[in-house]
Amino acid sequence: MSESQEHAQAAVLELVRRIVEALVDNVERVSIVPVLGERSTVIEVSAEPPEVGQVIGRGGRNIHALQAIVQAVGAKHGLDCQVFVLDRPRGGPPAEP
């Protein structure tokens, strides 16, 4: 992987972190975990209710906008970047209904 792609992965991760932190009320209830590949980056955003709803937004507007931005930034640097939202903390117990 080239240095510019590594820099792009770091920039995408920081972008997601800043946007998600701006969307939620309680940052401590959200975790952002990157899964880095050679030419791809998957960013998993794990959140507990109600923060998961704030990240997703009404009708999915927030997450769709975030995914579009991340894909555009990644494409500019030759990376396939995706963002997924999990409704519970990574490795934690299932969220209560």
Q: Where are the domains of the chain?
A: 3-86
Task: Check pLDDT > 70 for residue 96.
Answer: no
Confidence of residue 97 (pLDDT cuts 50, 70, 90): very low
Q: Distance from first CA to last CA of the chain, Å, rounded?
A: 42
- Domain 3-86 homologous superfamily, CATH: K homology (KH) domain (3.30.300.20)
Q: How confident is the model over 6-53, as pLDDT tens digits?
A: 888 999 999 999 999 999 999 999 999 999 888 889 999 999 889 999
- pLDDT, one tens digit per residue, over 56-85 is 999 999 999 999 999 999 999 889 999 999
Asked if residue 70 lies in contact with residue 12, where contact means CB atoms within 8 angstroms, the answer is yes
Please state the pTM of the whole predicted model. Answer: 0.85
Q: Is 87 helix (H, G, I), strand (E, B) or coil?
A: coil
